[in-house]
Every structure is written in C-alpha cells, then in structure tokens.
Amino acid sequence: MNETATLKVEGMTCTGCEQRLGVALHRLEGVYEATANHRTGQVRVRFDPTVTGPEAFAERIVTAGYQVTGQSEVSP
C-alpha cells in the first residue's frame, strides 16, 4: 500500500538542500522514496499510510531547518 504526499517547502536554495531533505525523509520508517526540488519548493514523498504520514514529514522537514507552507496534498 502506498500514497504520495506533496508538501510545499521554503528555505531550500540548492541541490544540496534537496539531497539533505530527501535523505532525512527517507530515513523515516514507512517512507519508500522522497524527492525535493529547490526550484519549485516541492517535496514529494511516497509512503505507507499505515505507518507514517504528512505530519511526520512536516516535522522532519522543520527539524532539518526548512519551513512547510500550506496544506500537504495526498494522492493515491
């Protein structure tokens, strides 16, 4: 079972930020894949909704030093 969450993130300035965030999110249990784009400010996470979800991703992103803006979208 998997879903994809899209979050709007502020504070990423380069590909280093993308990688750092991607790795940080991928470490969370239940995350299959995480990609970040500093140009669009979008972070996409494919995850198992029985294990984790957007609140955990937002918390992780803030801990990494970035800001989450707006609502995250979840699609199957």
Return residues touching Cu ion (CB under 5 A).
Answer: 13-14, 16-17
Q: Which is nearer to Cu ion, 5 or 21 (CB)?
A: 21
- Return the residue nearest Cu ion (CB atom): 17
In the chain, how long is the greatest CA-to-CA distance? 33
- Beta carbon nearer to Cu ion, 7 or 17: 17
Nearer to Cu ion, 1 or 14 (CB): 14
Residue 13 to residue 16: CA distance in whole angstroms: 8
Please report how close the Cβ of residue 17 comes to Cu ion at its closest, in angstroms: 3
Q: To the nearest 10°, report the CA torsion of 32, 35, 2, 65.
A: 90
Helix (H, G, I), strand (E, B) or coil at 70: strand
